């Protein structure tokens, strides 16, 4: 018996990329038939019925709509100029089933490439949605460009917790020294709460420390770790991508936050930092990263100013 996504592929006469098929087979039931008027589980993506019906509608309306293109989601409204008048039209997400690229396509047929592949485009957002389903606390991993900043941020957050401005379920620091060795540190107070509380942050942080060994010395342990990732809703590819960004001479801060007062917490990150993963929604994450980028820009400007004065 064919799956819904296989039925759609047959109806539309296309072959979907494997990464999209895996996504639909795993998460298709979470997706709405009408992401236009309702809220999608992730990235405005629709279920198999939406994909089939919307793609056929585009083919009927737009004679030049390429047969390899399939509409898989809805982005929202976008503004365009028609006869010098600003108007709003619908914007959709489209998958090119031949080369795997993800594009935006509006109701007039104008397209723009978004990403080279489905996993590149959706991977982190799928993880965030999965984490939101599984955990009430918010997971965030912030990467810093030296070995000390994550620990400094951790110390500041613990002070804020004592002051009542943030409630931390777990907080872990991972440091990668210049020689490539990695270690992580969890507060004794939170470690005593047990594995259930610190499992998510500890699991990911531990993976960063053990990653170079997973394919060699710890063959048996790697299977157990992979199973733990699956239980936590974390794909192996996520850990691979995370470790690729975790370079020698850097540090990362892992937090599970129950609640916080952002206006009090943000000054803790006067150290800059880059969000590697978060279970925040896309808009919240974008705002936080913009704040971190602004802080980092100020750091660079202050450093340049000091160098100019020395010269």
- The whole-model pTM stands at 0.67
Q: List residues bridging with 166 in a β-sheet.
A: 260
Average pLDDT over residues 222-247: 57
Domain with CATH 3.40.1580.10 in the chain: 4-123
Tracing tokens 């819904």 back to the chain, one arrives at 4
pLDDT confidence bin for 191, thresholds 50/70/90 = very low
SS3 state of residue 267: helix
Distance of alpha carbon 25 from its chain centroid, rounded? 20
Q: How far, in Å, CA of 124 to CA of 114, rounded? A: 15
Average pLDDT over residues 59-85: 92
pLDDT confidence bin for 296, thresholds 50/70/90 = low
pLDDT confidence bin for 213, thresholds 50/70/90 = very low
Please check whether residue 88 is in contact with residue 77, taking contact to mean a CB–CB distance below 8 angstroms: yes
Q: How far, in Å, CA of 166 to CA of 302, rounded? A: 29
Q: How far, in Å, CA of 138 to CA of 136, rounded? A: 7
Q: Residue 292 phi/psi, 5° resolution?
A: -65, -40
Q: How far, in Å, CA of 163 to CA of 154, rounded? A: 14
Q: How far, in Å, CA of 171 to CA of 80, rounded? A: 45
Mean pLDDT check: name the lowest of 37-46, 73-82, 139-148, 290-299.
290-299
- The top-level CATH class assigned to 4-123 is alpha beta
């Amino acid at each position: 018996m064919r799956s819904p996504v296989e039925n759609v592929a047959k109806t539309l006469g296309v072959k979907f990329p494997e990464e999209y098929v895996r996504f639909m087979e795993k998460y298709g039931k979470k997706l709405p038939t009408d992401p236009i008027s309702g809220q999608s589980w992730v990235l405005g993506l629709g279920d198999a019925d939406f994909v089939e019906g919307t793609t056929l509608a585009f083919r009927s309306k737009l004679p030049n709509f390429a047969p390899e293109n399939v509409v898989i989601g809805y982005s929202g409204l976008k503004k365009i100029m028609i006869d010098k008048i600003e108007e709003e039209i619908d914007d959709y997400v489209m998958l090119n089933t031949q080369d795997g690229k993800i594009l935006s396509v509006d109701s007039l047929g104008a397209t723009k490439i978004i990403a080279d592949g489905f996993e590149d485009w959706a991977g982190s957002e799928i993880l965030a949605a999965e984490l939101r389903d599984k955990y009430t606390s918010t997971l965030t991993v912030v990467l810093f460009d030296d070995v000390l900043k994550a620990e400094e941020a951790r110390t500041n957050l613990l002070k804020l917790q004592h002051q009542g401005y943030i409630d931390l379920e777990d907080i872990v620091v991972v440091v990668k020294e210049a020689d490539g060795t990695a270690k992580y540190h969890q507060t004794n107070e939170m470690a005593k709460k047990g594995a259930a509380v610190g499992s998510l942050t500890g699991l990911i942080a531990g993976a960063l420390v053990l990653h170079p060994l997973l394919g060699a010395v710890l063959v048996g342990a790697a299977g157990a770790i992979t199973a733990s990732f699956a239980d936590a809703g974390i794909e192996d590819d996520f850990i691979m991508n995370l470790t690729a960004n975790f370079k020698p001479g850097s540090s990362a801060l892992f937090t599970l936050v129950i609640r916080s007062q952002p206006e009090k917490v943000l000054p803790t990150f006067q150290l800059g930092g880059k969000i590697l993963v978060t279970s925040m929604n896309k808009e919240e994450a974008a705002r936080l990263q913009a704040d971190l980028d602004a802080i980092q820009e100020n750091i660079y400007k202050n450093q340049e100013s000091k160098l100019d004065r020395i010269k």
